[in-house]
Amino acid sequence: MRHLVVVFLILLLGTPSALAQTAGAAPTDPALIEKIRKSNAECLGCHTEAALKAPPREGMDLLKLKTLLVDPAAFERSNHAGMECKTCHGQTANEYPHREGLTAQVSPCGECHAQKSMRIEAQYDASIHAKHLKGKFTCQSCHDPHLYKVAAKLGAPSEIVRQDNAMCFDCHESDLKFATFGDALTPPKRRPDLDDIHEWLPNAKLHWGAVRCVECHTPVSPTKTLALSHEIVGKDKAEKNCVACHTRDTALKTRLYRHMVTEEREKLGFANSIILGDSYVIGATRNAYFDQFAVWSVLLTVAGVMGHGALRVFTAGIRRLLRKS
């Protein structure tokens, strides 16, 4: 599969920068790995926390550099681990002082992910952000290509929730960041407080740690191969029905736990037992044996007292008859 992707990339990409790195992500050839490591070390010689403390050269705009740092360890955990920085940033990005508009010239996602991007873009264009903030809002507003890792590869739902919600929190929890986009609107929009908006959701904070914003703020993915729709919806279409998740046939298994549902799902009689590794979800993770026991014990108790009562009425009647005769 990876080879296919690579071949596809090479065929597809017209840009010389991408062609220069023939092996795409995570190459296996040691010589190539060493070459990429060396190349990336150049950028990381300036664009890291460590470099900021001991700048490799004088006369750099350190205040600006401080806002342009990359975490090499996080990069190596991301989807794009093993890629050369220059593949996206251009072959001359290492030259300092940098040429003008380095950020603007970076390869867009669609350049390498043509097929997925085409489908995603159609959904994304219908989202609140794209409609209201056209031009300003981009894929990178949510996806930091140096950090992001696709859900199916992250595996642990708690990690997925943390990563994907961090995207939204980045703006929706920060007045400053929100304003850089909200100010472009007419009239300018101030950040509404998330807890106020979701005041109807008990334990909102608990939910933020256990489900993603996109669970409720996107419709079901119309494309089977995509994990979720990119159409972020506002209050008129967002999911407000608790029982969408809090029931045996929970939406969580087609969303957050989608990539895990192939595993055993009914361990020890627990419905959706895979969820129990991360969360106890009322209504969704209930136990079939316990439920049957509960229903039967209540029914039998009710039947028992009704039988007892009926027998009392019956014997009282007989006693009355006996007394009369």
Partner 1 sequence: MSERIYMLPFWLRAWHWVNAALILVLIVTGGSLHFAQPDLPLVPFALAARLHDIAGVALAALYGFFVIANIVSGNWWQYVPKPGGFIKRCLVQTRFYCWDIFWGRPHPYPPTLAANFNSLQQIIYWFIMYFFMPILLLTGLMFLVPEWAPQRVLGLDGLLPIAMAHTAVGLIITLFMIGHIYLGTTGLKVTSLFRMMITGWHEH
Using CB under 6 A as the binding rule, whether residue 231 contacts ligand HEC is answered as no
Q: Which stretch binds partner 1 (CB under 8 A): 58-66, 90-98, 123-131, 245-253?
A: 245-253
Q: How far is the CB of 162 from ligand HEM (least distance, A)?
A: 24
How far is CA 247 from each of CA 201, 239, 253, 290, 294, rounded to the nearest angstrom?
Answer: 16, 14, 11, 16, 17
Task: Phi first, then psi: give them for residue 270, nearest 5 degrees.
Answer: -80, 125
Q: Can you tell me which residue has the tokens 């994990």? A: 227
Q: How far is the CB of 99 from ligand HEC (least distance, A)?
A: 9
* Min separation Cβ 286 and ligand HEM, Å: 6
- CB burial of residue 35 (10 Å; 0-12, 13-18, 19+): middle
Candidates 282, 302, 305, 316; binder of ligand HEM (CB under 6 A) is 282
Size of the site for partner 1 (CB under 8 A): 37
Residue 215 contacts residue 208 (beta carbons within 8 Å)? no
At 68, which amino acid appears? L
The yes or no reply on residue 265 touching partner 1 (CB under 8 A) is: no
Among 140, 150, 226, 290, which residue sits at the site for partner 1 (rule: CB under 8 A)?
290
Residue number, 181 or 257, with CB nearest to partner 1: 257
Q: Does 260 bind ligand HEC (CB under 6 A)?
A: no
x/- track of binding to partner 1 for residues 99-138 (CB under 8 A): ----------------------------------------
Binding status of residue 10 toward partner 1 by CB under 8 A: no
Cα(160)–Cα(212) distance, rounded to whole angstroms?
Answer: 8
Residues 138-177 that bind ligand HEC (CB under 6 A): 139-143, 145-146, 150-151, 153, 164-165, 167-168, 170-172
Q: For residue 214, with 0-12 CB atoms within 10 Å meaning exposed, 13-18 middle and 19 or more buried, which class applies?
A: buried
Q: Tell me: does residue 288 bind ligand HEM (CB under 6 A).
A: no
Q: Which of 56, 155, 188, 307 binds ligand HEC (CB under 6 A)?
A: 56
Cβ atoms of residues 157 and 144 within 8 Å: no
Can you spell out the DSSP letters for 259-280? GGTTS---GGGBTTGGGGGT--
For ligand HEC, which residue of 27, 36, 79, 271 counts as binding (CB under 6 A)?
79
Amino acid at 310: A
Which chain residues interact with ligand HEM by CB under 6 A?
A: 202, 282, 286
